[in-house]
Amino acid sequence: MVVNSISGNTFLHWRRSMMLKGGRKVDFDWLLDIAAGVSWRKLQNIILNPDKCFSLEIPIEEIEVIWESHLKDNTPLQYLISKCPWRDFELEVSAHALIPRQETEFLIDIALKKVDNINAGRWADLGTGSGPIAISLAKSLPNWKGHAVDISKGALQLAKRNLEILVPQSNVKFFLGDWWEPLEKLWGSFDLVLSNPPYIPSDLIEDLEPVVKNHEPLIALDGGEDGMNASRKIILGALNGLAKGGWLILEHHYDQSEKITSFMKNIGMEEVSFEKDLSGIKRYAICRRK
Ligand SMILES: C[S@@+](CC[C@H](N)C(=O)[O-])C[C@H]1O[C@@H](n2cnc3c(N)ncnc32)[C@H](O)[C@@H]1O
């Protein structure tokens, strides 16, 4: 809803004054776009026509409060505005769950290609967080049965709310627990399992940016000594959990591809391969149960 009208000149002057307070311009412009409806295109229009008036979706005073909170203790803007755009939708986010990352978007494209010949199957999203993977699968595979698991109650509640709003007619159930465990009754029936597990080696957590390490849940980041504790558990579980011919697709840290794909091969998985992210980094490991 439009609540505020402002001249381009006043707005641009205010934007410059906000930048002098600190922070990254790219983050401030992201905030203007997502919270106040000033897209990059709209911003260029304002710069070209500074004498014209235009509308903001929230008052500048509110944007100022959000920006100052962000500068004060590095709270991620997504948590401050409770929103994060991801693929073709916008999620509610909170400090209960990781802020969905851009590289995870590609996991969905890889998965959809693998199962484009199956009209109705069963998928699971292990470690659903705020639910981005589950919601994408529910949207793209409407005839499938979906299962979203997380060990964090807060994350699971958030994912449920997001799914109810974004895909109200979906066939997705939520499970609280440790990776494959809460799905035990359905082991052997999953055609597709996706996971973006915590995969950062414990001793690297301290080196993360404050905006990440001081605010995002440790349980969503810390993958243990070599970063692969969760990945190994998920891959081993897939030996029983997947249906014959079912796919497992995992996101991992930038330097784990060889170790994870070797582990998949060593335990007897088939059609083991990897995919690179948009920066050319081997980021996704893929395998299939015999
Ligand atoms: C890296 S986050 C990914 C969240 C979401 N899938 C995404 O891509 O934004 C990992 C998720 O795994 C969950 N998790 C951590 N340990 C778990 C466990 N033992 N069993 C199930 N989920 C777990 C965390 O709570 C977190 O939500």
Q: Give the amino acid at 137.
A: L
Is the pLDDT at 144 greater than 90, yes or no?
yes
pLDDT at 4: 84
Q: Which residue, by CA, sits nearest to atom 26 of ligand 1?
A: 220
**Euclidean distance between CA atoms 253 and 190, whole angstroms:** 25
Q: Which residue, by CA, sits nearest to atom 24 of ligand 1?
A: 220
Extents of the domains making up the chain: 4-73, 95-288
CA 175 to chain centre: 18
Q: Which residue, by CA, sits nearest to atom 2 of ligand 1?
A: 220
Ligand 1 geometric centre to CA of 278 (Å): 23
Backbone angles phi, psi at 37, to 5 degrees: 75, 20
Task: Dump pLDDT digits (tens) for 78-132.
Answer: 999 999 999 999 999 999 999 999 999 999 999 999 999 999 999 999 999 999 9
Task: Dump pLDDT digits (tens) for 202-257.
Answer: 999 999 999 999 999 999 999 999 999 999 999 999 999 999 999 999 999 999 99
**Euclidean distance between CA atoms 76 and 78, whole angstroms:** 5
- Asked whether 105 and 127 are in contact (CB, 8 A), the reply is no
| pTM score, whole prediction | 0.96
Q: With a 6 A CB cut-off, is 182 part of the ligand 1 pocket?
A: no
Q: With a 6 A CB cut-off, is 136 part of the ligand 1 pocket?
A: no
CA-CA-CA-CA torsion sign (68, 208, 131, 284): positive
Domain 95-288 sits in CATH at: 3.40.50.150
**Euclidean distance between CA atoms 35 and 24, whole angstroms:** 16
Structure tokens, 206:
């301290």
Ligand 1 geometric centre to CA of 245 (Å): 25
**Euclidean distance between CA atoms 164 and 247, whole angstroms:** 27
Find, among 140, 125, 131, the residue nearest to 160 by Cα: 131
